[in-house]
A = this chain, B = another copy of it.
Amino acid sequence: MSGYQVDDATPDEIEAERATYAPIADATRRLADLSIRTRVSPEDAASAREHLEAAIALLDKDADAEPYGVRYSSSGVTRAWGNAVVGVRNPIAPPLTLIGDEDGVFAEFELSAAYEGPPNLVHGGVSAMILDQLLGEAAAAAGKPGMTGTLTVRYRRATPLGALRGEARVDRVDGIKTYAVGHIADAEGVCVEAEGVFILPRWARADRTAPKKFE
């Protein structure tokens, strides 16, 4: 495993990267939603597909062979822009924008038709995915970043698609293990709760213990 990557991107370069590629991810998120809901004619669908193939050909002219990874820059900005939950360049990510500090993190987000499991409801696995990220971010924000060791998710009631809020905080720390708790709620209250154990990888124990900063 290559571990984490430090690049020499300046703040201007980072903003240029965001301005160039984040709109591609945004458009692809709208396509993901429409791919499910559209009922246009085969002719219109075929025309849309030609546009998608043209976009693919353009974007594939020069593409990194590797996944995005996590990129640190000397200016202090960390980019997890390919991350499946928070990545601004990842159309699979809603993406969540987290706000918080060592006392906890939260995020408000919307889940579209692309996150459905049972009819009109958020897929239970999607809730688990988001909670894993929230709990891990809470651990990182408290200066205890780690990989998930165990994640337990309790579904209190059905989670509707639409506007949701997630929260997480560190409950306790025991050596290299950090215990985090959190939940996802809608306007009526908590839908899903989780607790997780996060373990600092051996290779990261020397230099990755500073509290994570949010941009």
Contacts and interface: CB of A to CB of B under 8 A. Distances in A.
A112 B63 CA distance: 14
Interface stretch (A7-15, A64-72, A179-187): A64-72
A67 to B, nearest CB: 4
A36 B113 CA distance: 22
B147 A32 contact: no
Which of A35, A67, A112, A114 is most buried by chain B, counting CB atoms within 10 A of its CB? A35
Given A36-B67, A123-B132, A24 B49 contact: yes
A104 to B, nearest CB: 18
B37 A24 contact: no
Contact of A47 (B36, B40, B58): B58
Tell me the number of copies of this protein: 2
Nearest to A22: B35
A50 to B, nearest CB: 8
A24 B5 contact: no
Nearest to A24: B35
Contact of A116 (B51, B84, B119, B147): B84
Contacts of A35: 21, 24-25, 28, 59, 89-91
A129 interface: yes
B27 A52 contact: yes
Given A125-B128, A125-B131, A155-B149, A67 B34 contact: no
